[in-house]
Amino acid sequence: MRIFPRTIPVIIALTLTLAGCVQQTANVSNNAPINTATPAPASSPQMVKTSASDADSMPVTLPVLDAFFADESFSAELKSKLQLTDDEVQRLRKVAREETAKLRETDSDEYQGTTSAASAHATAEIKAIIGDEKAQQLAAFLRQRWSGANGEGNNEEAHATSGKLNVVPTDTRIVVNSPAFRMDVFENGKLIKSYKVGIGYPEFPLPTGLRKASDIIFNPTWTPPDEPWVESSNKVQPGQKIEAGDKLNPLGPIKIPIGLPSLIHGGKSPAKLGNFASHGCVGLTTPQIRDLTRVLASLSGTALTDEQIADYAKNPKETKDVKLSHAVPVELRYETIVVEDGRLHIYRDVYDRNTNTEENLRAVLSAYGVTLEQLSDKERTDVMNALQEMSRDANGRSDDANGNSNNESTKGKDASKSTNNKAQADGSKVTRTVKGRKEIVIEIAALKGKGYPAPVDLDTGSGSKTTASTPAKGKRG
């Protein structure tokens, strides 16, 4: 990756090695409350692969690989399961660490990289070290671990029920759909709460798969890694424990681990919601994470009162790990074509997974007993136009068959496409903003009364809650 001039100060609170999104061992007090409540009944998780939630298609980037090296057992598994040599493992660790160390987060939106570029760069670097065959094996191994298939969730059931689309849970679980920037809480199959969220940057894409929430950690600390950017910042030192509540701690007052390398955590500003906001985590504001904590405790049958939560907040230097009486499944989805409450929602393909295709559209419609040919001429035209528009990458670029940029903002700028491609391959900043519209909603008569439920008691993070309303026909961004 190209090193950009470092004239813009680094924001240490959110800089990399997943900036705290890699799970850390909490400094937990021994007097954390003991939960004696009877666990709430919950049916077995039945997570399904949806139109592009297949783990085989999840993009792998070098920062993601770097995050897995934080697990002490990971290097040993590479040697035992993939038969990599010590030298190959060390070289992989080095290239992943160097890539992560280059990335910076700034207040500038100048740099606009994509997941596909970061993934292609990672593939080339890994192949150069271990060859094509082992590179494919490594990618498959990473995706398996990343999807939660190594014990984070019951992915055997996911494979057994694959092929379902826009599935509405019948059990108690949390569902996060990254392209929709939305998190839903279901209790015994009923949607009871929705949140607007921030998701991982394209360089740190949020995975898909079934995870579980087993702990709520209050006042999490953060330990900066041993990186050149830390040493040069003069604000924090490698290995220094950053207390909860410190402005340099990116985790906020509460974090909920959902399997390496992801968390659900607070500390985000409302402006970060509905956009890229984290290094592989689900980001919420502080009021949102506190509200989710109460909901999660109730769903899991855990004894956790408002008074206890308030007491933890009064002692930010004391970390508390509250074990949930019953783990709650957390399903991470990547669905860009969703039938919701009788309307067709088409979201931007923010992680470049090529999901907004006619094939996927037909599959979604078929799940509700509708064919593309049954739509009116206007509906069909609107839908196909929406698929094309929402197939643009995170910064609004789309390529035609000749490889020419169709982005209106870059027309007439001959150097723009080559410059942007070079930035994606060599860049040293995370992509912070989705450029342009993120969603198009189309009224489809044949879908009336069908689909995934509309948001319930939607918490937008702005301090006010909204309820679902009927959108105007046509487009919404």
pTM to 2 decimal places:
0.75
Does the pLDDT at position 378 exceed 70?
Answer: yes
| Structure-token pair, residue 246 | 């410190």
| Structure-token pair, residue 351 | 């992680």
Residue 298: closest CA among 172, 190, 169:
172
CA distance 169 to 260: 24
pLDDT number for residue 161: 39
Helix (H, G, I), strand (E, B) or coil at 364: helix
Q: Phi then psi for 111, rounded to 5 degrees?
A: -85, 135
Does the pLDDT at position 276 exceed 50?
Answer: yes
Residue 267: closest CA among 12, 9, 14, 11:
14
Q: Are strands 173-177 and 320-333 parallel, antiparallel or unpaired?
A: parallel
Q: Residue 384: pLDDT band by 50, 70, 90 thresholds? A: very high
The CB-side HSE value for 10 (13 A sphere, CA atoms) comes to 26
Residue 368: closest CA among 448, 473, 469, 471:
448
Q: Phi then psi for 290, rounded to 5 degrees?
A: -70, -40
| Structure-token pair, residue 118 | 């970061």
Report the amino acid identity of residue 77: E
269-286 mean pLDDT: 91
Q: Residue 34: pLDDT band by 50, 70, 90 thresholds? A: very low
| E-only strand ranges, 155-189 | 173-177, 182-187
What share of the chain has pLDDT > 70, as a percent?
Answer: 67
pLDDT number for residue 373: 96
pLDDT number for residue 466: 56
Q: Please, which residues have CB within 8 angstroms of residue 420's CB and are 6 or more apart in sequence? A: 112, 395, 397, 410
Does the pLDDT at position 456 exceed 70?
Answer: yes
Helix (H) or strand (E) run with residue 60 in it: none
321-348 residue pLDDT tens: 999 999 999 999 999 999 998 999 999 9
Report the amino acid identity of residue 280: G
Does the pLDDT at position 473 exceed 90?
Answer: no
Does the pLDDT at position 260 exceed 90?
Answer: no
CA distance 81 to 96: 20
| E-only strand ranges, 42-143 | none
| 4-18, 411-425, 440-454, range with the lowest pLDDT | 4-18
* 26, 221 contact by CB (below 8 A): yes
Q: Return the ∠ at Cα 264 (arms to 396 and 459), rounded to 5°.
A: 75
Q: Specify the long-range contacts of residues 247-252, CB closer than 8 Å, at least 24 apart.
A: 247/13, 248/12, 248/13, 248/222, 249/13, 249/20, 249/220, 249/221, 249/222, 250/13, 250/14, 250/19, 250/20, 250/222, 251/20, 251/220, 251/222, 252/284, 252/286, 252/289
Domain boundaries, the chain: 1-477
